[in-house]
Structure formats: C-alpha cells, structure tokens
Amino acid sequence: DTNAAVQIPESVDTDMIAHRLMLIIATKIAAGETHISLRRGLKEFGLKGEQAVYKELDVLHLQKVFAPQDPGKLTGNEKGKALESLMFLEKKRTGDVKGRLVADGSKQRNYIQEGAATSPTVMTESVLITAAIEATEGRDVAVIDLPGAFLNASMDEVVHMVLRGKLAELMVKFAPQIYRKYVTMGAKGEPMLYVTLQKALYGCLRSALLFYLKLVADLEGQGFRINPYDPCVANKMTGGAQMTLTFHVDDIKISHIDADKVTECIDWFKGIYGSNVRVSRGTTHDYLGMMLSYSNQQVRISMA
C-alpha cells in the first residue's frame, strides 16, 4: 500500500528551482545546446533568433500569461517592486533556436516570507517504494513531463513585471494594437513596458507552489487521494486496482496494472497541458536522475 510512507516530506524552494535550472542548462550545454541572453542571441542567431522570440511571445500571449499595465496607474513603490524580465535563447542540437521568457523573482524575497514559497517534492524513499511495488505487481509504468506546466497555474497575488529595451520593442512589434500605448521611455532612453502577471511565470518565487496546488486540486477532482505522509504521492482505485502517481514539480510517474488505464491518465494530462506532453512508455525510464528498469517482477535502479 503506497499510503504507508513514514517520513516527513522533502520540500523545494526557489534556490532549488534555480539550481535545477542551472543543471538543465549545464546538461544542455554538454549536449551541444546553449542558453544565451537576448541581445547576444539576436546578434548571433539573426532572423532565427527573432523568430524564436516571437514564437515564445505568441505562446505567452495566447495563454494570457500577462496583461499590459498602464504605467500612469502604478505608484512609485509598485514600479520599484516590478520584476525584471529575462529572455534567453537556446540553440538546440537540431540547429533550431528556442526562446524562453522568465521573471527575475529576486525582489520578491524582500516581502515574501521564508517558507511561503516552498513547494513539496516527492521523497526519494517514495520513488523507491513505489518502484518496488510496481515491479512486484507487474504494473505498467509511464513517466511524463509537462512542458510549460507553470503557465497553467494562475497567480493569486498582484505581481508586476517590466520588459525593457529590445524585449519591449519586440513585444510591441508582435502585437502593436495591444501593447504600443502602454510603452514609456526610461531614464536611459530605453522603451519600458509594464505588465501584470496572470499566470505563474517561471522565475517568480511562488510559481512552483502555485503549480503544485493546481496539480493537487486537479488530481483530487479526478478521485485521487494525496498520501498523508508524502504530499507528492497520489493514489486512486480504478478498474479494480490501484493507480499511483509520484510527482516532482512537472515530472510525473504513473503506474497501474492495466496499461490502458495508464494511457487514459496520460490522455487526461494531455487534455490539460496539451498534446506536447512528453511521454516515456516501456520497461526502462529516466526519472529524477535515476534509471528505472523493470523486468521479471524486479526493478533495477541506477543513476542516469
């Protein structure tokens, strides 16, 4: 019974999230992929870089991640608290260029109490215990990754962000009818565009927690029960057997004795997070830096 975990849950704060991002970037660099700043990226990638920025802005616009803010209605304190925006460009091994807009949430440390931004993550013991149960019961196992997961969570507080310079110019160029009238000039003569965040943009201190709360609410709405000892393990009875989920932010392991039930669960996630949910099926999975290999009612676990 995977409700039998006995330890206090681990948790993750924004320092861990930042560390995770650096590990991801380091891994991509080692694999021939690079993250660079907007200015350098536009210079290096040219038209491909600009198209990557537009594609990222289009995604954020369609998902209503932020709305333009009249700077005349912001107080000096609100402008001072506005988060800086950062756009990175990444060159994939395929040669394609991808843009990623994030917020610099460092200012939020001045007014968000320590612990208020903490989001739980699955305990290592829970991953190992559930893997052993999956092997013993001969369950079908899948691992999924939810790209852009945070953007499905709504902000529950007022957070302003400012786009400066070339990024503000590109935002206006992308949708002039929406953003042009809100652009002002900064003290250094650079264009500035204030926006109000409506979704949990990557980089905000509470984004991981907001996503976790949404994920739990969605799972409970589907009949899952959250484990009382590990808040990142969820179970429900379906098809006469138990389905188990373990989740570390947006990396989720799903298991059930019936492969069709696993497929149904994956399709449910795709209905929320889109068809580009990354899925691993079969008997070997890379999950949270561990390789899980299932065979003959046993699981072999090694570091990926």
Q: With b meaning 16 or more CB within 10 Å and e meaning fewer, what string describes 185-223? A: eeeeeebbbbbbbebbbbbbbbbbbbbbebbbeebeeee
pLDDT digits (tens, 9 = 90+) for 250-293: 999 999 999 999 999 999 999 999 898 999 999 999 999 999 99
pLDDT of residue 304: 63
Q: What is the pTM of this model?
A: 0.82
CA atoms within 13 A of residue 129's CA, in its CB half-sphere: 17
Gap between the Cα atoms of 226 and 174, Å rounded? 43
Higher pLDDT, 181 or 15: 181
Average pLDDT over residues 219-227: 97
Using 50, 70 and 90 to split pLDDT, how confident is the model at 28? Answer: very low
CA–chain centroid gap for 170, Å, is 24
* Rounded Cα–Cα distance for residues 70 and 68 (Å): 7
Q: Would you give the DSSP letter of residue 2?
A: T
User: Can you tell me the mean pLDDT for 111-116?
Assistant: 81
